[in-house]
């Protein structure tokens, strides 16, 4: 429907216009007619009184249709029409005349060559709707019928009065049917496309025109409605309609034909031609016509009949219904309806063109072909439904959600940050068919089945339960969580959740998706909670766990960590709104545990390149088991997707044994369906950390682990045999057992191209065998890549004038406004004391946050790690006021930079610099002048920590593309009398 009628010019005398419009209501009636049928763009009507005024109006404004009501002098009227047609030959002109025998007689003597159609005005505004739709159908027929496959219904009728009466009924019926069918669509956009795909009506007024239209559009003819008596070979033929039916039967013995006639004697011949006969004189002719169209043209339910008895065997109500009943249809019934093209016609009437075309063109010659045809039809339906579901955010309907549903929303609000990202990912996958059978393997890239509770559900929940006063207070996390657990979700959700649980057969992840989360300028990655619930056959129990998990995610918006982040990013907590993602957990079950083969994060910019790697090559980190291992700073394997064979952690045996993953995270799967989970404010309460050695014995980590051969002192790239299992991913990265690097490279490059900025992604996979399995793309978000470069004059200072220098810096540009340095005393680090250090850093951070001041933080090892031996286990809220964070090397340790953690993403996204300094590495030019810091008077000092402050801000610069960063020594380092000691007493 590319061409539409938006502006109508009506030429009528004031009296005729008044009679026609019922005191000027024609445009209003048209508008309400469009609204009632859910049509878009109702036309506007402009009125003029005569041809001269019309010509003047046409010179200054474009009109898509001209309707004229003839005055007393018909000759003058048609002379004016010819004048208009000469000036506007492409604009359709319709004559609308009151019905009378005298008018009909006079019209028969006029030259109607300049007129497209003549209609008889019967006082019903439905006729105007029919005129507009008939002309739009004519304008779009060539492109839509022949180009797209939209079907046509041909009306053959020469009586002006009769087609003026029939067309409004026909269009009203078709538009209401298409409105009914559109409810099967996944969302409003799909619904509108379905409505635009309704059959077109083409009008023929004589035998030759009807044959010409059939020859042109016959392959897409849904059915024909024909009168019996009309012009043929230039003369009135009382049997023209029957002759036309014979012609049509000669070309298509199963084409539905409806013969309507005022002479009931024609019924016998009509039935002999296997057509449906209607009596024009019947007082319920419109009803009879609607029923005949429903029964013959594929509208309404698809009623399958026994070919021998005609008895109803089965009734199909929707495409989903056809899919589930396809295997139940008796062979002879399916053969009968396939031969007659009934199935394809029924699908065509619903604007489901791809399957209709496939079924129509499939040749089923004998009943012996039916088993193959049945599988062919079922495969077409499944592929179509998968295709239509992919890349579409469907409106959740409990009666339509099934295992082929992919992404649906409950509610009318926002999807939130993660939800938008997932929907965007789904659209990327839809545009890249190579995601199915990636690179010729049996590996597919997809997103897990997902349902999003939109933000308006959160608003309703918070308001109905009056939770804001407590939630916005400084109450402890546990108290807030307890209050949310007592609250009630909207009752309307229960039926939807039960429909969802009837479909899923996997554990569910309930993930936060706030308005601010993963936004382009201030991502909130990992600030809120993600809970996982096991899958049980007890649906009521699973429903309770699902509701508790949703409420727990809602509560996490108001925890202390979230409020600290809000303060650090200058956001207001009560403006935050939460959507919730309910998503199948990627994985398989092993010995009471559920986990994916591997999980990972990837970044399209690599600010820690090694060897031949470039910043633009990207970087990924993978770990076996749940991704919580990575986002909480645990040990994972780092590699560049474009250099998969060069993995630093496995470059030597010592590194592989020391710096690879030894434990994986998994979801506990209880033995009993009655298990009663007690949700807490920690989203890890039902996750278990298990030894790689224990899991590897089951074969669940095949292709991901190698085996350490103690006798030969080598790693064998196999999970078989005795010896320690080492997570190397060597079979995938070096030997091509699974396209890990290739799929990550595709996701990063496609994601960066589609988002038009550098991206970070999350993914998880289930490996089923050699080059077989599924990779699920879980998240995409932008990462910081500021265009401004750092101050090169600072980067070029001699070593003697620098406090810090690194060639492994993250961030870009200058860091301004920092006057204080918080650092762990180099000689004071002891892994046994790191929890106490984390508590002290939290108090220091709170001090700076309350004063709206920022600082530079230096510490040994890895910030934010969950392993106290690798560094200090702070949370994001413990260091939220730091503007530059420095990781310095530990004696005897070579610790990889903390790339991939959730709080790490937040640091980079809001412009916080990150240095990794290893002064002991061979060839290192890194600098950490601890002596200068130690010589500076401290404003605070404890057993582990010192703070030094300066009157002027420090000069800090980072060039992220080159990975270079530097901090200049302050101009004065002596006693500073105006700086008071910091008091951190509780």
Tell me, what DSSP letter sits at residue 759?
Answer: E
Residue with tokens 């007690």: 678
347 or 857, higher pLDDT: 857
Q: Averaged over 422-441, what is the pLDDT?
A: 89
**Is pLDDT of 975 > 50?**
no
Q: What is the pLDDT of residue 526?
A: 45
**Segment 139-176, tens digit of pLDDT:** 989 988 888 888 899 999 988 888 888 888 888 888 77
Q: Please give the pLDDT value at position 525.
A: 40
State the pLDDT confidence band at 867, using cuts at 50, 70 and 90.
confident
CA dist 162 → 200, 208, 280, 829 (Å): 19, 20, 9, 96
Q: Between 42 and 553, where is the model more confident?
A: 553
pLDDT tens digits, residue range 663-687? 999 999 887 666 677 888 888 888 9
pLDDT tens, position by position, 368-377: 888 888 888 8
d(CA 190, CA 352): 11
CA distance 724 to 658: 12
- pLDDT bucket at 516, cuts 50 / 70 / 90: low
Instruction: List the single range of 182-191, 499-508, 871-880 with lowest mean pLDDT.
Output: 182-191
pLDDT band at 36 (very low <50, low <70, confident <90, very high): low
User: Which of 69-83, 559-573, 773-787, 950-964 is modeled with the greatest confidence?
Assistant: 950-964
Query: Who wins on pLDDT, 278 or 69?
Result: 278
CA distance 610 to 618: 11
- Give the model's confidence band at 790: pLDDT under 50 very low, under 70 low, under 90 confident, else very high: low
Is the model's pLDDT at 936 over the cut of 70? yes
Give bridge partners of residue 602 from the DSSP assignment.
620, 761
**What would the mean pLDDT of 928-957 be, rounded to a whole number?**
91
Confidence of residue 213 (pLDDT cuts 50, 70, 90): very high
Q: Directed axis angle between helix 240-251 and helix 207-217, to 10°?
A: 20
Query: How far apart, in Å, are the Cα atoms of 731 and each of 113, 716, 717, 765, 857?
Result: 78, 10, 6, 15, 40
For the residues 540-555, what does the mean pLDDT come to?
Answer: 92
Say what the pLDDT of residue 387 is: 72
Phi–psi pair at 889, nearest 5 degrees: -70, 150
Q: Which residue shows structure tokens 């995270």?
A: 665
pLDDT value for 225: 93
Rounded CA separation 443/375 (Å): 24
Residue with token string 């001699």: 798
Q: What integer pLDDT is reported at residue 966 of this predicted model?
A: 94
What is the rounded distance in angstroms from the CA atom of residue 452 to the CA atom of residue 513?
9
- Phi and psi of 890, rounded to 5°? -100, 145
Q: Which of 40, 346, 291, 263 is nearest to 169 (CA)?
A: 291
The mean per-residue pLDDT over the stretch 187-215 comes to 82
Range with lowest mean pLDDT among 373-377, 470-474, 516-520, 965-969: 516-520
**Stronger pLDDT, 914 or 609, i.e. the higher one:** 914
Average pLDDT estimate for 729-747: 94
pLDDT reported for residue 548: 93
Give the chain's mean pLDDT.
Answer: 83
Q: Is the pLDDT of residue 575 over 60?
A: no
Phi and psi at residue 156, to the nearest 5°: -110, 110
- At residue 675, the pLDDT reads 67
- pLDDT for 905: 44
Per-residue pLDDT averaged across 101-111, rounded? 65
pLDDT of residue 766: 95
Q: What is the pLDDT of residue 951?
A: 87
pLDDT in tens, 503-515: 888 999 998 887 6
Q: Higher pLDDT residue, 741 or 433? A: 741
- pLDDT for 523-541, tens place per residue? 334 456 789 999 888 888 8
Higher-confidence residue of 973 and 962: namely 962
Residue 434, pLDDT above cutoff 50: yes
Judged by DSSP in three states, 232 sits in: strand
Over pLDDT 90: what percentage of the chain?
28
What pLDDT was estimated at residue 609?
64
Q: How far is CA 822 from CA 39, 350, 855, 873, 964, in A?
A: 65, 68, 7, 16, 21
Q: How confident is the model at residue 422 (pLDDT cuts 50, 70, 90)?
A: confident
The pLDDT of residue 567 is: 62
Instruction: Name the pLDDT band for 39 (thresholds 50, 70, 90).
Output: low
Which comes out higher in pLDDT, residue 384 or 391?
384
336 phi, psi to nearest 5 deg: -60, -50
The pLDDT assigned to 610 comes to: 66
Model pLDDT, residue 24: 44
Q: What is the tens place of the pLDDT at every residue in 813-824?
A: 788 889 999 999
Give the tens place of pLDDT for each residue, 585-599. Answer: 999 998 889 999 999
- Place 979 in a pLDDT band, splitting at 50, 70 and 90: very low
Closest CA to 878 of 905, 853, 910, 846: 846
Residue 22 scores a pLDDT above 70: no
The answer on pLDDT for 453 being more than 80 is yes
Can you spell out the DSSP letters for 614-639?
A: -GGG-EEEEESS-THHHHTT---EEE
> Mean pLDDT throughout 316-340?
87
């Amino acid at each position: 429907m590319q061409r539409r009628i938006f502006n109508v010019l009506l030429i009528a005398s004031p009296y005729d216009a008044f009679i026609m419009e019922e005191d000027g209501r024609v445009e209003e009636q048209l508008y309400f007619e469009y609204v009632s049928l859910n049509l878009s763009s109702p036309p506007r009507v402009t009125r003029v009184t005569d041809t001269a005024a019309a010509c003047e109006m046409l010179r200054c404004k474009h009109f898509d249709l001209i309707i004229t009501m003839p005055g007393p002098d018909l000759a003058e009227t048609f002379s004016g029409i010819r004048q208009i047609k000469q000036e506007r030959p492409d604009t359709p002109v319709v004559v609308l005349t009151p019905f009378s025998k005298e008018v009909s007689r006079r019209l028969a003597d006029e030259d109607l060559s300049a007129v497209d159609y003549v209609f008889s005005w019967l006082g019903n505004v439905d006729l105007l709707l029919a005129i507009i739709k008939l002309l739009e159908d004519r304008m779009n027929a060539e492109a839509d019928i022949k180009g797209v496959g939209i079907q046509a219904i041909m009306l053959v009728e020469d009586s002006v009065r009769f087609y003026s009466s029939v067309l409004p009924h026909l269009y009203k019926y078709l538009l209401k049917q298409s409105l009914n069918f559109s409810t099967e669509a996944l969302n409003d956009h799909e619904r509108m496309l379905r409505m635009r795909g309704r059959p077109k009506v083409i009008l023929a007024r004589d035998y030759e025109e009807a044959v010409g239209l059939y020859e042109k559009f016959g392959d897409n003819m849904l059915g024909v409605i024909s009168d019996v008596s009309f012009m043929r070979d230039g003369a009135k033929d009382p049997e023209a309609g029957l002759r036309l039916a014979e012609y049509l039967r000669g070309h298509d013995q199963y084409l539905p034909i409806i013969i309507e006639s005022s002479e009931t004697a024609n019924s016998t011949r009509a039935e002999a031609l296997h057509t449906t006969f209607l009596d024009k004189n019947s007082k319920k002719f419109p009803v009879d016509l609607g029923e005949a169209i429903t029964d013959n043209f594929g509208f309404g339910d698809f009623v399958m009949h026994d070919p021998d008895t005609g008895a109803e065997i089965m009734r199909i109500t929707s495409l989903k219904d056809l899919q589930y009943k396809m295997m139940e249809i008796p062979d002879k019934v399916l053969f009968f309806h396939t031969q007659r093209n009934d199935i394809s016609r029924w699908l065509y009437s619903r604007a489901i063109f791809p399957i209709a075309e496939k079924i129509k063109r499939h040749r089923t010659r004998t009943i012996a072909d039916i088993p193959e045809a049945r599988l062919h039809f079922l495969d077409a339906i499944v592929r179509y439904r998968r295709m239509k579901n992919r890349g579409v955010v469907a409106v959740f309907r409990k009666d339509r959600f099934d295992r082929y549903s992919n992404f649906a929303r409950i509610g009318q609000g926002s999807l939130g940050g993660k939800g938008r990202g997932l929907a965007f990912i789904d659209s990327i996958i839809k545009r890249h068919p190579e995601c199915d059978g990636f690179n010729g393997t049996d590996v597919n890239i997809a997103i897990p089945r997902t349902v999003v509770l939109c933000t308006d559900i959160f608003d309703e929940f918070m308001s109905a339960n009056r939770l804001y006063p407590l939630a916005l207070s400084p109450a402890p996390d546990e108290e807030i969580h307890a209050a949310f657990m007592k609250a009630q979700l909207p009752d309307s959700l229960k039926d939807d959740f039960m429909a969802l649980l009837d479909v899923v057969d996997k554990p569910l992840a309930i993930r936060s998706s706030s308005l601010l989360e993963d936004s382009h300028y201030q991502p909130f990655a990992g600030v809120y909670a993600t809970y996982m619930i096991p899958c049980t056959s007890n649906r009521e129990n699973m429903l309770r766990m699902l509701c508790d998990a949703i409420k727990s995610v809602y509560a996490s918006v108001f925890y202390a960590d979230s409020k600290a982040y809000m303060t650090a990013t200058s956001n207001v907590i009560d403006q935050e709104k939460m959507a919730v993602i309910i998503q199948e957990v990627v994985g398989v079950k092993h010995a009471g545990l559920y986990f994916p083969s591997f999980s990972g994060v990837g970044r399209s910019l690599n600010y820690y390149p090694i060897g031949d790697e470039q910043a633009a090559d990207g970087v990924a980190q993978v770990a076996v088991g749940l991704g919580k291992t990575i986002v909480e700073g645990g040990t994972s394997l780092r590699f560049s997707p474009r250099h998969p064979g060069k993995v630093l952690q496995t470059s030597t045996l010592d590194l592989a044994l020391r710096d690879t993953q030894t434990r994986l995270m998994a979801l506990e799967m209880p033995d009993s369906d009655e298990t009663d989970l007690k949700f807490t404010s920690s989203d890890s309460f039902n996750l278990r950390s298990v030894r790689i050695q224990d899991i590897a014995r089951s074969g669940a980590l095949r292709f991901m682990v190698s085996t350490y051969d103690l006798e030969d002192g080598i790693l064998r790239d196999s999970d078989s045999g005795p010896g320690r299992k080492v997570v190397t991913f060597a079979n995938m990265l070096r030997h091509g057992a699974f396209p890990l690097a290739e799929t990550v490279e595709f996701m990063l490059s496609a994601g960066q191209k589609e988002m038009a900025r550098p991206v970070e992604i999350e993914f998880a996979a289930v490996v089923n065998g050699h080059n077989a399995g599924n990779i699920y793309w879980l998240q995409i978000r932008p990462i910081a890549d500021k265009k401004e470069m750092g101050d090169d004059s600072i980067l070029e200072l001699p070593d003697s004038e620098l406090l810090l220098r690194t060639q492994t810096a993250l961030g870009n540009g200058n860091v301004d406004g920092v006057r204080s340095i918080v650092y762990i005393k180099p000689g004071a680090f002891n892994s046994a004391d790191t929890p106490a250090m984390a508590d002290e850093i939290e108090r220091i951070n709170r001090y700076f946050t309350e004063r709206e001041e920022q600082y530079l933080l230096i510490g040994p090892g890895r910030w934010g790690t969950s392993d106290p031996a690798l560094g200090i286990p702070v949370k994001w809220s413990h260091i939220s006021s730091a503007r530059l964070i420095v990781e310095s090397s530990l004696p005897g340790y070579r610790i990889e930079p903390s790339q991939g953690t959730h709080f790490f993403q937040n640091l980079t996204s809001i412009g916080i610099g990150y240095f990794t300094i290893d002064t002991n590495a061979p060839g290192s030019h890194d600098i950490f002048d601890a002596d200068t810091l130690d010589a500076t008077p401290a404003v605070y000092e404890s057993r582990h920590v010192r703070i030094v402050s300066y009157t002027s801000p420090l000069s800090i610069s980072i060039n992220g593309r080159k990975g270079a960063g530097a901090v200049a020594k302050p101009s004065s380092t002596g006693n500073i009398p105006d700086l008071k000691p910091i008091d951190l007493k509780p």
